[in-house]
Amino acid sequence: MKKVDRFKSYMKNSEQLFSCPICAASMVVDDNHIVCKQNHSFDIAKKGYINMMTQPVHTKYDKDLFEARYQFIQHGVYKPLHDKISELIGQRQSVIDLGCGEGSHLAKITELVNHDMIRAGLDIAKEGVMTASKYHLDAIWCVGDLAQVPFKDSSFDVVLNILSPANYGEFKRLLSDDGFVIKVFPNSGYLKELREAFYNNEEYSNEETKKRFKESLCDIQEERLTYQAPISAELVPFLLKMTPLTWNLNERVDLELKEVTVDVDILVGRGG
Ligand SMILES: C[S@@+](CC[C@H](N)C(=O)[O-])C[C@H]1O[C@@H](n2cnc3c(N)ncnc32)[C@H](O)[C@@H]1O
Ligand SMILES: [Zn+2]
């Protein structure tokens, strides 16, 4: 089956989850579109994703960044994080990753979950969603704004939000009765090798952003995950390209690295 047909069939099976981003009505998938009762219609792209932005947005994240991020994540650097999140998801039946980037985290985590579940990934950067649809099958890949998500109330058991901005009102709206949010925050050691190489390694604190999570959700669980992951020399150029940390460097940079530090806080909270 062609990739676009496989995507359309995945969309058709999940069409009951969508709500129109313009009028909030239910939507159905027809030939090449998803359309609401008031005829607001969004094209299904041939590459196997859907763009549901009501206005185009230009972001700083480009195709090369997402491609680099994809290559980097394939090499297992985030495996302990994926293991942890898949354990937290357990037997849940549906997950949406808001700010999914190029989709590898969602794909790898749901592979580890090891049972069929509805998966959706949404990002405001079209290039991210296009890269996701290029590499990962059987998910709703959607260009959209996480502050105005085109899915119905209570439609997901798990909202994932990894190293991305949050909108807790919207996250809570999307959660099913027993659902929860899993958010990953960078901590002070996250990719510290890059900050040590290019900056003065100023102290970074995520306390303020975690505070907003804790004020917005309930039954909070928190866990810090810190480890060093070995990386081979071929991965260094991808690492340099995949993060805004190196955007302001004008000259070409060479860096010898044998490992990188992953240092994150994983917070889980319910809507209440
Ligand atoms: C640092 S990246 C993290 C991407 C991915 N979760 C990862 O860990 O590889 C932040 C992502 O948030 C996305 N983003 C920023 N604002 C957004 C919004 N309002 N709605 C959806 N995505 C957004 C960006 O396009 C970008 O892909
Ligand atoms: Zn509509």
Q: Assign 225 a pLDDT band (cuts: 50, 70, 90).
A: very high
- Check if CATH label 1.20.140.10 holds for domain 3-270: no
Q: Assign 198 a pLDDT band (cuts: 50, 70, 90).
A: confident
Centre of ligand 1 to C-alpha 37, Å, is 30
Mean pLDDT of 63-82: 96
Sign for the pseudo-dihedral over CA of 15, 136, 247, 98: positive
Residue nearest to atom 17 of ligand 1 (CA): 124
pLDDT above 90: residue 248: no
> Which pLDDT score, from 0 to 100, does residue 185 have?
98
User: CA-to-CA distance for 43 and 66, rounded, in angstroms?
Assistant: 23
Residue of 64, 124, 131 to test ligand 1 pocket, by largest number of atoms within 8 Å of CB: 124
Residue of 85, 100, 164 to test ligand 1 pocket, by largest number of atoms within 8 Å of CB: 164
Q: Where are the domains of the chain?
A: 3-270
Q: pLDDT by residue (tens digit) across 3-28?
A: 999 999 999 999 999 999 999 999 99
Q: Assign 200 a pLDDT band (cuts: 50, 70, 90).
A: low
Cα torsion through 141, 178, 84, 225, rounded to 10: 100
pLDDT above 70: residue 170: yes
Q: What are phi and psi of 148, to 5 degrees?
A: -150, 75
Tell me if 73 sits within 8 A of 65, measured CB to CB.
no
Mean pLDDT of 60-69: 92
> Which pLDDT score, from 0 to 100, does residue 71 have?
96
